Each structure stands twice: as structure tokens, then as C-alpha cells.
Structure 1
Amino acid sequence: MNIIFTHTDKSRLVSTVILLLFSILLTAQKPADLIIHNARIYTVNQSFDTAEAMAVSKGKIVAVGKSSDILNFYRSKNTQDLQGKTVFPGFIDAHCHFSGYATDKWKCELWGTKSWEEIIQRLTAYSKTAPLEWIYGRSWDQNNWTVKEFPNKSKLDQLFPDRPVYLKRVDGHAAIANQKALDIAGITAKTKVRGGEIEKINGKLTGILIDNAMLLVEKHIPEISDDLAIRYFGELQQKCFSYGLTSLHDCGMSVHTFGLLEKAQEQEILKMKIFALLEDNPGTYSEWIGKGRFTNGNITFGGYKVYSDGALGSRGACLLHDYSDKKGWRGFLLKDKKHFLNLAQKLSKSNLQMCTHAIGDSANRTILQIYGDVLNGKNDRRWRIEHAQIVDKDDVGLFGKYSVIPSVQPTHATSDMNWAESRIGNERLKHSYAYQDLLQQNGWLPLGTDFPVEEINPIKTFYAAVARKDAKHLPVGGFQKENALTREQALRGMSIWAAKAAFQDNELGSLEVGKSADFVVLSDDLMNISEDRILQTKVLQTFSGGQKVHGQ
């Protein structure tokens, strides 16, 4: 029997076959929560491979590869054609003060002020609506003024004789207080403090307090409510997401603040991945070192942030030789060496990290030697020195010898470059902010911002690292360009190496199968555009755990 098909029948048969094949294809395809394709994806894996597409399921990356392969093997109701745009792993800030910055939101913002007179104007306006009796300001920097000298409290005393005023310098290592605040703290010209300085001129208090002297006043300043702190966490988180940050290392918080972060997470207000380092409080050693490292949702407790010295801008950094602009003065350690050795010995018996702030060459030598005595050679403890700003040339090799990780902030170099030489002279400056030299010690280098000391923006971190220039694109040839990082090194430092600095490199930091789907979509390809276009790059979208947390 011959079966004859009409044209209509043939069309129906073809349609049926196509539908059947499509049905089979759909059945064979694996479901995904999100597919992005037609992109330039920098995976930041070991080979620094690029890809075109990525599939995400349950917050994890399940496939990375060519667009055709991903679209053939996966299906999703949420599929994005990125039209060739660049995708990076979500940025990780390896050193910042997230919770401290958030809870400072009620304070008078003094960032970017150009003179003491401008600060007075801001304070006068702020005082009219200040939420507390205390007038508290943050982030002034005399190095940005025409007269680059510490101010005097006399004008504050005149304007606010009955209200305490406390203004913290940008680095958090110096402050100025008016007489009312000094009286509340019981500070007189005879007051002594170890690990700090109460400045006097001709025997009279100027109001300037450096490092541990600040604590005498700060303990009297009331804290905001827990509910308000949690609200501020949420608000700052959104700002971080807008800059492409999906994870950060919060350096030096109290046990109470750690609990507030956990509470904010329980309330689904906080979704940021936070690696938390507790402040150096001996009262917490027994319980928290005993607990060891642990993770609760997106929050991980991983160790202690310790301060060995102050900052260069306030001349509290501990130097081996005199400051070039203050003869007879070398700064100071904030605590006795025995304190740092005691904590190092305790932490060496746990799985926790010791992460110590060290700016001056003397402080860096002291901590490197203590680490070396406890760690005893090569290891994988990933103990860190935060900042590692001024390191004597004879001590650089100790980072590699004892596997100590320098955790640095590239924008510090470009913020300090205009005045650092006046503090330490040309010879010491050659061995300062030496990021390429430090990277070579262990083969990797985590990068951060130290916000709010610097701006949150990771694009500025990238630019400062590779160009060694500030936002004005100066200096023309770059500051000590021999210590610039390559673009690949900078990106690794802001992603996989930052994750590695927190023992999280198996979970975060690169776009590989099995890792959290944390990534950013950028307006430009930072790996290929000209240097002068880097700072124009925008974060278009930010994804955390496969969920869009910023962008359209």
C-alpha cells in the first residue's frame, strides 16, 4: 500500500517531529536557576581562563563554558544575554571596617574637608540636629589642608563650651577633643598613657589624642541602639553591593558587634559574606579561642585583629629610626611585646588566624620576629600582617621564610605618596608600599581598602594597584611604578587571593564549578582598556549566591 501525503500533511508531520525533538531536548536539558551567556567571563581559576557562559543552581555555579554548550545542556526561566559585557568574580575586600563604619553613620562626616575652618562650619551645622549630646565627627586629614598641622581645640572650646566634641582622624589613630570631652574623661596635662600620646604645647593641652589616649575619651561616648546599628548594617551593605563587593573581612569587632551581625543575618537584613576578626580583648581569649573557627550562614569567625602600632599620618607608626620631620621621635608600640607573644602562643594552639596591624618598620620587624618564633618556618597558618607599609629591606624576606601573608591596601600608597617622604625620607620610602616585592615572598597578595580610611570602591583599588596613581591620574609616571601589580595580579588580589587569606578559596573568589555564584557585570573590560579609562568603569550588576543584589 502506498501512502500519499498532501502538502498539509507533510507540514503537520514536520511540525510534529520538531515539537517531539524540542520536547526531547528540553527533557534532556538540566534545569538551572540562572544562565548568563554571550559574556566575557574571567573565571580567575588557576589558569586564568575566560569563558562565555555560566549556569547557576541553588546559589552555586554548576557549569562554565561556551555559550552554545551551556544553552544546549541547561535551561532556565532566568537567562541573560550580556551582549559581550565583562564578568568578574564578586570583589572581596580583604581589610575593612564594615561594622564600625556602619555604626558611625550618625556622626558628622568630615571626609574631604580642606581646612580646619571648613570642619568648624560643618560641625556648627551638624550640632543643630545631632542625635546625641556628643558632637562626634570622623575622617578629617590635616595632610589635605594648606596648613598641614594638627589643629588646636581652642575654637571648639569657644563654640561648644558645654557639649563634648570628639573628632576622629581619617586613619582612626588620632583625634581632637574639646575641653568638655577632656574633662569628662578626666584628662589633664599630667595624665600619662602607655601606647599613646596626649599632646601638649607649652604645657597646655591642645586636644590632640593619639592611639591609646583616644580610649580615655571613647569609653564615655554612648553607643547607638542595637536596632539602629542593624539598620545601618543593611544600608551600608547596599552601598557595598553597588560597588561590586560580595564579601569582606571586617577587621577588629567586639563580641557584641559579632552578635549583632548574626542577628541582622537572622532577620534577613544582612546577606553580605563577612569574615570576622575580633578585636584584641584578653577578656575574650578563653571562650573564643576555645571555640575556634566557625561559620554561621554567611558569617565566619576566623581569628583576631591586633594593633601593634599607630599610623604614619599621625606619627604613631613605630619606626626603627627617627621621623624625618620630628627628630627624636620614633612612634611607639601600642602594647608590650610580651602581649603580642602571649596572644600568638595562644592562637598557635588553635585553628584561628592572627592578623596584626603593622605600619612602621620597627612594628613590622617586631611582629615578624614574634610570628617566626611561634610559627617556626614554612606553614599554612596564613597569619597576616595588615598594611605592611614600611618594611626594612632586611626584613622583607621574613614574610616568605615564615609564610606570613602581607595584607595590603593599594589606595594607601596613592593617598600617602604626597606627604609620606616628609615623614620618613626618600631612602625608607623606597621600601614602603612595596606590593610587588611583598607579593613575591609567598606568590600571592590579598588586597583591600581599609574603608572608611579609604573609599569603598574596588575599582580604585585596582587602579591604584596597577597604575600607582590617584583619582587625578597623578603622578604621570606612577608612584614607585616598579612595585605596581599586573592587572591579573590585582584582580586575583581582589578575589581569589583575598578569599585565600581567609581560608575561603575553596568556596569563593573564582568562577568555578561548585563555588558560590558571586559575580559582577562591568561596563568595561578592566583587563584590556587603557589605564586612563579604568576609573570610568561602572558596576552594572552584582550577584551574590546567584541572586541579583544590585543593578537592573
Structure 2
Amino acid sequence: MAYIVQANVLTQDPQKPHAEAVLVVQGRVQGVGSLPEMQAMMPSAEVLDHSGKILTPGLTDAHIHLVRYGFRLSQLDLEGSTSVEEVQQKLQAYASRKPEGWIVGGGYTVTELGLTDYPTRALLDEVVVDRPVLLYSRDLHSAWANSKALELAGLTHATPDPEGGELVRSEGDLTGYLLEAATELVSSSLPTPTWEETVDAARLAVQTLRNFGYTAVHTMAFEPADDLRALMHLEQNGELPLRVWACIPHTELDHAVQLGLYGGLGDRVKLGGVKFFLDGALGSQTAWMLSPGYQNPQATPMILDQPELIRERAEKALQYGFIPTVHAIGDQANRTLLDLYSELKPLADQKGLRLRLEHAQHLSRADIQRFADLQVTASMQPVHLIGDARLVRELVPHLEDTTYAVKSLQDAGALLAFGSDAPVANPDPQLSFAAATQRLGTDGKPFSPQERLTPEETLWAHTRGPALAVGWQDYGIIQPGARADFSLWDELGGKAEALTFNGI
């Protein structure tokens, strides 16, 4: 079938940035121009009249934990909680609605709860003592467990801290708060979801993203292998309404190579990245910072994957066509990774791959130009600044001007690719556009307003930027030969709907 889509078209093609109609044939753009021009090219094409709307390339969420987001949609939501008492009330109400089994949830930050130290299991035991409770911080880099959860996990005062994590203690006793890899000591005791539950979570996640107007996502790793299998299952059954660029954890790279897998393998679900974690996160106060670091002396900066390991395994990833995809939050972590990438750039250039840094959240001014010089993708999540504004002012106020420095990076010539990091944040693109263009914290105060982008610049970072980051030359743009995956808007930055021509 051939279609002509009539709308106010924003193409992202600098040679023809605006048009009024797009001709689509067999899922590809055949022509871009005026309605009479497109009708002359294909008189038999069906005209879809969206003349009152804006048509753009399809939105991409460039950083999401897709199936985990599907699971989170049915868990205890603590987003926006401002006190321990509020958490307790929400926990009690959820426990009443779900009277059996583990209670899992998340979305809080320690600072927003009004605490200067990590909360304790006793606070959760006051509400639920006979069932295990595990509550993840908003950034997913720490968790809060009750006594029953620690008991079922077999943790005692004698349990040593795992590598890359800490069981927070008070006078030698476990407080119930878990940092980084220590969260896995409890989460490993959670019941393993059934295959049916995993597929249901995947189906819910992809449909929710589709309903937000997305046509593609970049899903990060360190999720169970069944999550990726579930997405492939949906693809095989014609139920996958998104294109998925997927990462594998670096711990599985050798196995993947032994199985003959390589970067770029796949169709709608395409293997592309190898994921690493250099440091922790701001909310959990585990991000790796340059001096002077945190205002809070109780903060615990952590190096998770050692730079030497990243250097070695990222080189192997490149050799097999995978893009190293490295989490770096703190300004020290970002600097260290850019130093490392300067060594890997010749191999990346040889392989035609663009190195990629996830979050780029807190930067030293001296490192901003390096993103462009090294052609490193700045994969960022402006939506986080809405909640992080207060944290930055309280924990690292000296970094406010170079936190989420999207305008400075863009002006320097860096490639921006925006995502949500869901379930860390809500993937609704309206929130991402508002954060990037307004830069207001939850308190309504401007946050480094000199870093605001325009809606058009934000659109680019949600469409063409993510496509170029992963080498999809025929995506995120409306020009002849490109894939016909579009988003429709009443107004740019408002509610979007997906419009695709691939049979789904």
C-alpha cells in the first residue's frame, strides 16, 4: 500500500527541514514535499489528512530498562514521597491491597525524605514485619529492606560487603540499607518471575511506550536474560510495536562471542551495545566526584566496574561490533571515562562505531568540549533534573552550572541522545520536553536556565540524535529511503502519538 501523510512536517533533514506531505511506500519514505508533488508521484496513494498536526520522525527513548519498567508499573510507587511517614502510609496501603508475598517498590530519594543519613529497617518493620519488603531508591543504586527481607536473604552482621557494594551498618549491625551491589544480596531472594509474567511485563512496557508516541527505544542491560527473550518473543509473534536497540551486560560478552553473536545482529530487536557501570548515582550518594565532592560527609562514592576492566572489555566489544555503553554520573567518573575513550577512539573509528557515555550528569567545564572532540555520544536524561535539582543544591551545589549541561554540550558540537532511564523516571515525553526546555525543579525554581534547549532542539535529541548514536542512518529523519516511523503532535512537546507503516 502507498500512503500520503499530509501534515506540518518537521523532517530533521537540513536540506529540506519543512514539508507539507510525505509519500510512504512499503514502510519507507518515497518522497517529501507538497501535497500536489506527492500525488503526482503516486496518484493512487491514499491520503491521510493530518493537516492540523505536526509530523516528525518517530520518538526514541535512548536509555530505558524496558521490561523492568513493565514490572515496575505494578509495584509500589514511592515517587514524590517527602517523608518517612509518607513512605510508611503508602507501604501500609499497598500491603492491604496485596496481602501476600514480597512487597517491592521504589522511587524515593533519601534527601527528599528529609534525611541526612540512610533510613533503617526498623522504620519499615513498624508497618510490615511478617512479610519481606524491598524498596529501591529512584536511581536504583540503593535499596531499603525490612528485617524479614534480610532474614530470607540470609544476611547477618557477619555477612561481608560484596565487591562494589556496601551493607550499611550501625555499631556493627545491619541497618537494612543496601548500596549498589549489596542490593543484589536481597533481590536474589525474590521469586523468579514466570515466563508468562515476564512476557506480560514486556507487552505492557512496549505498549505503554507506544501510547506515549515512541517508535523506538535503546534498552540497557543488567536485566535477566528472559527480558531480552521476551522482547524477541513479541517480535516473532508480531506484537512488538517498537524498534529496540539492546545492550548486553559486559559480564556476558565472552558468552555472546562464543555463540557467534555480534553487534548489529537482529531486525526489530537489534543487539548493539555492551553495558558497564563506572560509578553509582547522585540520589544514593555513590557517584564518583572530583574534589570537593559531596556536602554530606556520610556520602559513599563508589567505583563499580574498574577503569582497567572497562578498557579491556570495551576494546573486545568494539572488535565484535558492539558499542561500549558506559554509565558515568559523577564529574570524576565522566573525566575518567573520557580519558579511557581517548585511547579507544582509533579502534571505534576503524569499526565505524561511536563511543557512548550514559548520563553525563555532572561535568567539569573543562571536559565538555571533549565529548565533541572524541565524538562521544552524550546519552542523557533531562527528565531527571526535575527531581535532582534539590539534590544538586544540597549535595553538590558547586556543580549546578554543569549538571545536565545539554546546551553547552550541544554548542560544543556533541551528539545528544535523550531518554528517561525508566523505571527510574517516567518516560512520558512531555516531561522530558518540559525538563529540557524549562529546567524547573519540583520546587518551581529554575535550574541552570542557561542550559535550556528549544523544543526543536529537544526533538532532535529524541529522534535523529539517538539514531546517529547507534548508526541507524535511515532513522530519526524524514527523507527518501528512511523508515516510515513517525510521531504526530498537536503541539511540539505536548502529547504525541505514534504513526508507523510496518504492519504493526
Q: What TM-score do you get using the length of structure 2 for normalisation?
A: 0.92
Q: Does 1:212 align with 2:181?
A: yes
Residue 294 of structure 1 aligns to a residue whose secondary structure is: coil
Alignment CA distance shift 1:160-1:329 (3 Å): closer
Q: C-alpha distance in 2, partners of 1:467/1:207?
A: 38
1:129-528 aligned at under 5 Å gives the runs: 129-130=97-98, 133-147=101-115, 150-190=118-158, 191-252=160-221, 253-282=223-252, 284-285=254-255, 287=257, 290-327=260-297, 329=299, 331-376=301-346, 379=349, 380-426=352-398, 428-470=399-441, 474-475=444-445, 478-504=446-472, 506-524=473-491, 526=492
Cα deviation for residue 228 of structure 1 reads: 2.0
Cα deviation for residue 55 of structure 1 reads: 1.7
Q: Is the 2:137–2:283 Cα contact (8 Å) retained in structure 1? A: no
1:75-114 aligned at under 5 Å gives the runs: 75-76=43-44, 78-114=46-82
Q: C-alpha distance in 1, partners of 2:124/2:113?
A: 18
Q: C-alpha distance in 2, partners of 1:377/1:350?
A: 11
Q: C-alpha distance in 2, partners of 1:321/1:328?
A: 15
Residue 123 of structure 1 aligns to a residue whose secondary structure is: helix
In the other structure, the counterpart of 2:499 is 543
Number of aligned residue pairs: 500
Cα deviation for residue 468 of structure 1 reads: 1.9
Q: What TM-score do you get using the length of structure 1 for normalisation?
A: 0.84
Alignment CA distance shift 1:223-1:78 (3 Å): farther
Residue 417 of structure 2 aligns to a residue whose secondary structure is: coil
Alignment CA distance shift 1:140-1:267 (3 Å): same
Cα deviation for residue 422 of structure 1 reads: 1.6
| Letter of the structure 2 residue corresponding to residue 229 of structure 1 | T
Q: Is the 2:63–2:421 Cα contact (8 Å) retained in structure 1? A: yes
Q: Is the 2:325–2:355 Cα contact (8 Å) retained in structure 1? A: yes
Q: Is the 1:523–1:538 Cα contact (8 Å) retained in structure 2? A: yes
Q: How much is the aligned-residue C-alpha RMSD, in angstroms?
A: 2.4
Cα deviation for residue 471 of structure 1 reads: 7.2
In the other structure, the counterpart of 1:8 is none
In the other structure, the counterpart of 2:32 is 64
Cα deviation for residue 129 of structure 1 reads: 4.7
Residue-by-residue CA offset, 1:329-350 (whole Å, 9 max, x unaligned) = 5601013332212212212322
Q: C-alpha distance in 2, partners of 1:288/1:440?
A: 42
Q: Is the 1:420–1:429 Cα contact (8 Å) retained in structure 2? A: yes
Cα deviation for residue 509 of structure 1 reads: 0.4
| Letter of the structure 2 residue corresponding to residue 358 of structure 1 | A
Cα deviation for residue 357 of structure 1 reads: 0.4
Q: C-alpha distance in 2, partners of 1:167/1:207?
A: 11
Cα deviation for residue 421 of structure 1 reads: 2.2
Residue-by-residue CA offset, 1:301-344 (whole Å, 9 max, x unaligned) = 00212111111111010112254322375601013332212212
Structure with bigger gyration radius: 1
Residue-by-residue CA offset, 1:358-414 (whole Å, 9 max, x unaligned) = 001121122222222232498342111100111223333332333222111111223
Cα deviation for residue 251 of structure 1 reads: 0.9
Q: Percent of aligned positions with the same letter in both sequences?
A: 28
Quick check: 340-349 or 163-172, which moved more?
340-349
Q: C-alpha distance in 2, partners of 1:471/1:162?
A: 35
The gaps in structure 1 that reach 5 residues or longer are 1-31, 527-533
Q: Is the 2:358–2:379 Cα contact (8 Å) retained in structure 1? A: yes
Cα deviation for residue 300 of structure 1 reads: 0.6
